[in-house]
Structure 1
């Protein structure tokens, strides 16, 4: 009796994939218009700086001297949301999150003014000698997340970054619009963002916790809430890669 498993394998694979990959309904608008907040035109920039290990203290020092000045200067339509060092995850790394009130025109205005700011020009020259590499992304904020606001500490922060499968951003947003309600009890939800320029189909969720044990307790408690496990079940297949960073805020960070 002949076995025909090799001929049936493509059909089996297709059937298995249909169990785990959900189709997104066709849309007639960009996901940036469907998922971002309508009441604001804020644009966010997320920066990752990989610092030479022997330069981290000096890097932090000049950042704490210069970045708050830009944050406080009303001539710059931007706000420093938070600035951190990675504690667990990629080591000797600094993370900065900026908000530009007014979107792309505000970003262009800030960049133009900074090129004429001699203190910042010197800061960039000094900083370049301390870095191994750097990258950034321009982000929009999910409409169902609260806008990040300054908070007192001490806290640790977790940045959970998800590389989604292309075409699944709207589906992710639909599920997380419900899921985020399960994670509000302890005021741990800081912000949720999705990329527009840089690495595309990236989602970043920012959380605040008192400490690592509190993080563990809060995350475990979510599994006891009706509906949470279903939302996790449907969102996991949308992810290609994911990463978690535990971060410590610098002393001048508005998010403490």
Structure 2
């Protein structure tokens, strides 16, 4: 974003020159984005509306600025002579991008001369300093999950002793398909894999329980009476280093995972979201998914209900790693994809990618 200096400096009474002096810059008409500095990273927030100069600006004192942006900001300004100016700040060496800019207004001017008199709490600029949390009328599971099905998914991660991986795969391929094919169990094996790139010597299993939590409870009860499965679990326990699982629901805008022929490799992309951002993520990806369906690579999208919370998992299928690279690069040439990435990246705390190879008995090949 290019900025044009307006050649003025502004002082704030009662503060040191280092804190109070800052060069004001004119906000260019073509500018479309502004940035917010958080304590550890720079995150994108709001896109400016075309008529942003007519928006009511938020009154922002120096105390509020410091409490929001310390310790990265090295210079602050409590007021500017005119709204619509920005102040450039020095950037901390920990931040991965160049200096950023924040819009301020003169504290003496509460409103711009505009016919727009919406309440101050509705001002978009207020979100720069205070994140507004909208009251939710319903649970995330009801707002984001499919209404026409009541399927529940279980995602299992088993870290296997390296010397036992072959034996582990063998017993899984003997026992798990029997449960999948038995109509007395209201569950299906969606897929079973070994991690190829990512955490090594790891097995990943994805189950669907058709009927939600009652189906899960029924399956668990019946498996405790299944002697073959009991023996399987005893043998498996001697092969594992650790294991964990999550209960998931499926995003309404993703297709349900269905068996597919191979050979394919699978990528499981896992995102740890910032708490409170799941609805926002779902809104953006409801649009983003159309950019990633040309090659039939989208397998399933899920969000956690029990286990590690605010987790999102996207499952993709590719012919090989080069095809994956080509498809992902092609998405950047589609109008709108870069904007959706721009807005979803700040919602993520951590992310991980696994490249997985399906076992021979996996319905997803």
TM-score (normalizing by structure 2): 0.65
Instruction: Give CA-to-partner distance per residue, 1:22-53, whole Å, 9 cap, x none.
Output: 75643210010000000000000000000000
Q: For the structure 1 residues 37 and 3, does the alpha-carbon distance in structure 2 shift closer, same or farther, using more than 3 Å as the test?
A: closer
Q: Distance in 1 between the 2:331 and 2:320 partners?
A: 17
Q: Work out which of the residue numbers 252, 269, 274 in structure 2 matches 1:143.
A: 252
More helix by share: 1
Q: Paired residue for 2:294?
A: 185
Q: Distance in 1 between the 2:226 and 2:253 partners?
A: 37
Decide which structure has the larger Cα Rg and report it: 2
Q: Work out which of the residue numbers 164, 187, 191 in structure 2 matches 1:55.
A: 164
Are residue 37 (structure 1) and residue 146 (structure 2) matched? yes
Are residue 161 (structure 1) and residue 270 (structure 2) matched? yes
Q: Distance in 2 between the 1:15 and 1:156 partners?
A: 44
Are residue 176 (structure 1) and residue 288 (structure 2) matched? no
Contact map agreement 1:160 1:245 (CA 8 A) in 2: yes
Contact map agreement 1:24 1:168 (CA 8 A) in 2: no
Q: Distance in 1 between the 2:344 and 2:186 partners?
A: 36
How far 1:7 sits from its partner (Å)? 32
Q: For the structure 1 residues 10 and 69, does the alpha-carbon distance in structure 2 shift closer, same or farther, using more than 3 Å as the test?
A: same
TM-score (normalizing by structure 1): 0.92
Equivalent pairs, count: 256
| Structure 2 counterpart SS, 1:5 | coil
**Which range moves more in the overlay, 246-255 or 5-14?**
5-14
How far 1:56 sits from its partner (Å)? 0.1
| Structure 2 counterpart SS, 1:65 | helix
Q: Distance in 2 between the 1:156 and 1:221 partners?
A: 19
How far 1:219 sits from its partner (Å)? 0.2
What stretches of structure 2 of length at least 5 have no aligned partner? Answer: 1-109
Q: For the structure 1 residues 55 and 9, does the alpha-carbon distance in structure 2 shift closer, same or farther, using more than 3 Å as the test?
A: farther
What stretches of structure 1 of length at least 5 have no aligned partner? Answer: none
Q: Paired residue for 1:15?
A: 124
Q: Paired residue for 1:71?
A: 180
Q: Distance in 2 between the 1:240 and 1:170 partners?
A: 15
**Which range moves more in the overlay, 4-13 or 187-196?**
4-13
Contact map agreement 1:21 1:238 (CA 8 A) in 2: no
Contact map agreement 1:21 1:237 (CA 8 A) in 2: no
